């Protein structure tokens, strides 16, 4: 279940340890997955990904068509076109770029195209802020994309490879997005293990080309008019496929483990088994949260942590099993659910899953820096009953609700 398994696994493929930023780890994983077509538009903080991919293509290290499009709307459109033609595709975006793509995001789902996209998560305007939080990714939740939120460069690298396998699986045929913290992951140099032989990646994740595509020998129409007599049934197939993908995601994660010696599960847990207080979060701040758990344990508070990794499809049953017996579930959200039942989107979903009130605070909005002390103080307030469930709290906001 955890990234750093206690028992060393037998590693089937030879790997070497290198240092890369999260962005360059993603670019390297994409290169090893051999996409046929990349269409991209630069936006902070993902730009180094598309720069690196352009470099790979222009240096002859990656044989792909690189389309330097004129906007993110066109980036998503171009990968939809290329994927519809049967190509393995990649694009990457952030923030306003994702918003500019928005119209085409559900279309990739409806056409059942296995596009893989990276998102270096960044907050949204206004005011303009190029730094990280998850306000962009959270807007994709209702569209039918598979959504991974990863913790570090290693996991970003591994998840890109897994995502191609999942998206192109015959039971799935859906687009997938791999999101990671803008700057805190995208721009920080981290050690990671990568296969010595790049061929191993394509062996693990071969291009299936099994999805429905444009073929002059077998003409068909993609994206026909779906009248009220047909639309729902066709869309429902995408709903079912996303539900089915939960199983596929787990299956491929386990197989990845056998090949690469690493697996992540649908979510990650830490000292949760006998916990009375669980801190739930996502992305790179999980490291700080684990530190807080240790400190609370030393002080006699039975704390544990859970990191959401796959948020679409939502692993409800498993989350319920992991959190049902824990008295206080405290979700630290990194995106605002404006005017929602709870101020954070993931807290809302966790509360709906557990069918009981949860504690919720917002942190890191617009990349407001936090440290483990601040998380610790918030967790203590929850533990001591100073904070109530179903209320709005903030960590690090001047004049906020604390």
Partner 1 sequence: MVKTAVKAAEEYEGQYEYATFELPNEELFLPGHGLCAGCTIGVIARHMLKVFGPDTVIINPTGCAEVSTVVYPRTNWAVPWIHVAFGNGGSVASGIEAAIKALKRRGVIDPNRRINVVVFAGDGGTADIGFQALSGMLERGHKVIYVMYDNEGYMNTGIQRSGTTPFGASTTTSPAGKVVPGNIRHKKPMAAIAAAHGIPYVATANPAYVHDMVYKFKKAMEVNGPSFIHILQSCTPGWRFEPKYAIRVLELATETGYWVNYEIENGEFRVTLPVPRRKHVKCFLQLQGRFRHLKPDEIEYIQKVIDRDVEEINRLMGREVIGPLDPSLPCLTERK
Cβ proximity to partner 1: between 174 and 347 the closer is 174
- Of 199, 178, 132, 165, give the one whose Cα is nearest residue 26: 178
CB of 11 to partner 1, least distance (A): 30
CB of 108 to partner 1, least distance (A): 9
Cβ proximity to partner 1: between 227 and 355 the closer is 227
Which residues sit at the interface with partner 1, rule CB under 8 A? 36-37, 39, 63-65, 67-71, 73-75, 77-87, 89, 103-104, 107, 111, 209, 214-216, 219-227, 230, 234
Dihedral over alpha carbons 387, 391, 393, 398 (to 10 degrees): -110
CB of 183 to partner 1, least distance (A): 29
Q: Which two tokens stand for residue 62?
A: 């990656």
What is the secondary structure of 139-198 as a DSSP string? TTTTTT-EEEE--SHHHHHHHHHHHHHHHHSTTT---EEEEEETTTTTTSEEEEEEESST
Cβ proximity to partner 1: between 104 and 281 the closer is 104
CB of 137 to partner 1, least distance (A): 22
Cβ proximity to partner 1: between 202 and 354 the closer is 202
Neighbouring C-alpha atoms within 13 Å toward the C-beta of 389: 13
Is residue 331 packed enough to be buried (19+ CB in 10 Å), middle (13-18) or exposed (0-12)? buried
Cβ proximity to partner 1: between 79 and 326 the closer is 79
Cβ proximity to partner 1: between 75 and 382 the closer is 75
Angstrom distance (rounded) from CA 396 to CA 402: 9
Q: Alpha carbon 391 to chain centroid distance?
A: 27
CB of 216 to partner 1, least distance (A): 5
CB of 83 to partner 1, least distance (A): 8
């Amino acid at each position: 279940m955890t990234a750093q398994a206690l028992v060393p696994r037998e590693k089937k493929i030879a790997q070497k340890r290198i240092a890369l930023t999260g962005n360059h780890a993603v670019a390297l994983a994409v290169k090893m997955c051999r996409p046929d077509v990349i269409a991209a538009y630069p936006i902070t903080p993902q730009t180094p990904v598309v720069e690196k991919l352009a470099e790979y293509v222009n240096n002859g290290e990656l044989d792909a068509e690189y389309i330097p499009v004129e906007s993110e709307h066109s980036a998503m459109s171009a990968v939809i076109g290329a994927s519809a033609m049967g190509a393995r595709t990649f694009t990457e975006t952030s923030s306003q770029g994702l918003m500019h793509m928005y119209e085409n995001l559900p279309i990739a789902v409806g056409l059942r195209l296995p596009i893989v996209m990276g998102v270096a998560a960044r907050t949204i305007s206004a005011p303009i802020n190029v730094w990280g939080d998850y306000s962009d990714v959270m807007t994709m939740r209702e569209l039918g994309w598979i959504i991974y939120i990863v913790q570090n460069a290693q996991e970003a690298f591994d998840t890109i490879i897994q995502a191609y396998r999942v998206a192109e699986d015959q039971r799935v045929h859906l687009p997938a997005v791999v999101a990671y913290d803008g700057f805190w992951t995208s721009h920080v140099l981290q050690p990671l293990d990568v296969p010595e032989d790049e061929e191993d990646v394509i062996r693990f994740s071969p291009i299936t080309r099994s999805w429905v595509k444009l073929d002059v020998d077998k003409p068909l129409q993609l994206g026909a008019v779906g009248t009220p007599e047909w639309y729902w049934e066709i869309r429902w197939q995408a709903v079912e496929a996303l539900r089915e993908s939960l199983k596929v995601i787990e299956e491929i994660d386990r197989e990845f483990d056998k090949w690469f010696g690493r697996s992540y599960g649908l979510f990650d847990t830490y000292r949760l088994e006998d916990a009375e207080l669980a801190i739930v979060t996502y992305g790179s701040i999980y490291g700080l949260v684990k530190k807080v758990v240790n400190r609370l344990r030393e002080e006699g508070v039975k704390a544990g942590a859970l990191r959401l990794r796959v948020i679409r499809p939502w692993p409800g049953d498993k989350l319920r099993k992991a959190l049902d017996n824990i008295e206080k579930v405290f979700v630290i959200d990194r995106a605002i659910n404006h005017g929602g039942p709870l101020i954070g989107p993931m807290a809302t979903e966790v509360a709906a899953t557990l069918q009981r009130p949860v504690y919720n605070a917002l942190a890191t909005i617009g990349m407001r820096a936090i440290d483990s002390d601040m998380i610790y103080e918030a967790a203590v307030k929850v533990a001591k009953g100073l904070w109530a469930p179903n209320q709005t709290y903030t960590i690090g906001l001047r004049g906020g609700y604390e």
